[in-house]
Amino acid sequence: MKEKLSKIMDEALSQIEASGELEKLNDIRVAFLGKKGELTSVLKGMKDVAPEDRPKVGQLVNEARTKIEAKLEEKKETFEKKLLEEKLKSETIDVTLPGKKLSQGHRHPNTITLEEVEDIFVGMGYQVVEGPEVEYDYYNFEALNIPANHPAKDEQDTFYITKDILLRSQTSSVQVHEMEKGKLPIRMIAPGRVFRSDEVDATHSPTFHQVEGLVIDKNITFADLKGTLQEFAVRLFGEGTKVKFRPHHFQFTEPSAEMDVTCFKCGGKGCRFCKGSGWVEILGCGMVHPHVLEMSGIDPEKYTGFAFGIGLERIALFNYEIDDMRLLYENDTRFLKQF
């Protein structure tokens, strides 16, 4: 009996070992452990075994069953592992094929640039405000210390609707609206469209955008203007950006300046973007002219302030190395989707 069991077990184990596929294992299970299997038939033959030997035989049968089952399980795992490996291998894909995208829209490079500028100034406590694009001559010129027939008016080729109403040629007009509200201190930026009678070409457009800045408070100094705009330049163009202030003239500021930044393409070494100078002119600025304060009802003996005007397109064009301003107003989606 013992030999018989041992033989059955050896036979089963060797068949399992030799089996080549998963399905075969089941056949082996049925052949040995199934209802009509060999081990089962041994159990069925228990009635022929002496009663005192029965527990012993039973134990041997169970041991044999356990061993065969363990072996079956072991072999099954091997097969399954192998199958999984094969399956995974067959499912290999070309990861270099293009990704699938939802067709998202893109913001205009002008808007992206404006948002960067807004973030910087909002972080410094500036309110973002707006003013009318069709404007009274008074706000665009007169209240900015540019009286009727002043030659400075000619420097900006202004579109007129009537004698007194025009398309604003500068966002500086918003300064006056803010000052007239009479709420001090003021820290504002005013982005928006401006209009000048320039023929369309690679660097000119009759419509473009400016961002005006105005700070009015007690004890505001030219040093504050310099510090603020340097902070702005460094945040916009990155650490290491240097600024240079040059004297200039604007009717509504005194002293006035233009600010250059180290060329963000070459870092100041000189390249074709900065025409070899290493510097790029970014904005005009100055201390608000006392007469401008007076006209808007602010006492220049008590309050001082500074103002600046940034050409948005100029920054966008430089930032993205766009060489033709017309692209900004053509709206070719192949252009717009690059930003």
Partner 1 sequence: MDTSLSWIKAYVPDLDCTAQEYTDAMTLSGTKVEGFTEFDKNLDKIIVGKINKIEKHPDADKLVICQVQIDEEGNEVQIVTGAPNVKEGDKVPVVLDGGRVAATHKDGAAENGMKIKKGKLRGVDSFGMMCSIDELGSTTDMYPDAAADGIYILSDNPEYKDAPVGSDAIELLGLHDVSFEYEITSNRVDCFGMLGIAREAAATFGKDFVPPVVTKTGNDEDVNDYIKVKVEDNKLCSRYTARVVKDIKLASSPEWMQRRLASVGIRPINNIVDITNYVMEEYAQPMHAYDLDKIEDSQIVVRRAQKDEKFTTLDGQERVLDDTMLMICDGKKPIGIAGIMGGENSMITDDVQTMLFEAATFDGTNIRLSGKKLGMRTDAQAKFEKGLDPNNAMEAMDRACQLIEELGAGTVVGGAIDYYPVKKEPFTIPYSVEKINALLGTDISEDEMVGYFEKIDLPVDREKKEVFIPTWRQDLERLADLAEEVARFYGYDKIPMTLPSSSATMGGLSDKLILENKVRNVVEAYGFCEGMTYSFESPKVYDKLNLAQNDVLRKSIVINNPLGEDYSVMRTSALGGMLTSLATNYNRRNKDVRLYELANVYLPKQLPLTELPDERVQLTMGMYGEGDFYAMKGVIEEILTRLSLKGTVTYDPAAQKSFLHPGRQAKVIYEGKEIAYFGEVHPTVLKNFAIGQRAYVAVVDLAELIAMPKEAVKYTGVAKFPAMTRDISLMMKKELLAGQVEEVIRKKGGTLVESYELFDVYEGAQIQEGYKSLAYKIVFRAKDRTLTDEEVTNAMNKIITTLEEMGASLRK
Q: CA geometry: angle at 145 spanning 144 and 147, to 5°?
A: 110
Q: Phi and psi for 105 in degrees, rounded to 5?
A: -85, 170
Indicate whether 240 belongs to the interface with partner 1 (CB under 8 A): no
| Cross-strand partners of 285 | 257, 308
CB half-sphere exposure, 307, CA atoms < 13 A: 28
- Grouping H, G, I as helix, E, B as strand and the rest as coil, residue 187 is strand
319 interacts with partner 1 by CB under 8 A: no
- Check binding of 329 to partner 1 (CB under 8 A): yes
- Show Cβ contacts of residue 264 under 8 Å, excluding neighbours closer than 6 positions: 237, 238, 241, 280, 318, 319
* Binding pattern for the stretch 190-229 against partner 1, x by CB under 8 A and - elsewhere: ---x-x-x-x------xx-------x-xxxxxxxx-xxx-
- Asked if 232 interacts with partner 1 (CB under 8 A), we say no
- Contact residue for partner 1 among 33, 46, 152, 266 (CB under 8 A): 152
Yes or no: say if 257 and 247 are a contact pair by the CB < 8 Å rule: yes
State the Rg of the chain over Cα: 42
Tell me the window of 7-15, 24-32, 78-86, 158-166 that interacts with partner 1 (CB under 8 A): 158-166
Residues in the chain: 339
Amino acid (one-letter) located at 257: A
Instruction: Give the footprint of partner 1 on residues 113-142 (CB under 8 A).
Output: 118, 121-130, 132-136
165 vs 271 by CB, closer to partner 1: 165
Task: Name the residue nearer to partner 1 (CB basis): 1 or 336.
Answer: 336
Q: Draw the binding track, 66-105, toward partner 1 (x: CB under 8 A; -: no contact).
A: ------------------------------------xxxx
* Interacting span for partner 1 (CB under 8 A) from 2-10, 62-70, 74-82, 157-165: 157-165
Contacts of 64 (CB under 8 A, 6+ apart): 5, 6, 8, 9, 12, 39
Site string for partner 1, 248-277 (x = CB under 8 A): xx-x--xxxx--------------------
Distance (Å, whole) CA 34 – CA 52: 26
Q: Is 254 annotated as a binding residue?
A: yes
Number of residues that bind partner 1 (CB under 8 A): 84
Closest separation in Å from C-beta 96 to partner 1: 24
- Known binding-site residue numbers for Mg(2+): 254
- Known binding-site residue numbers: 254
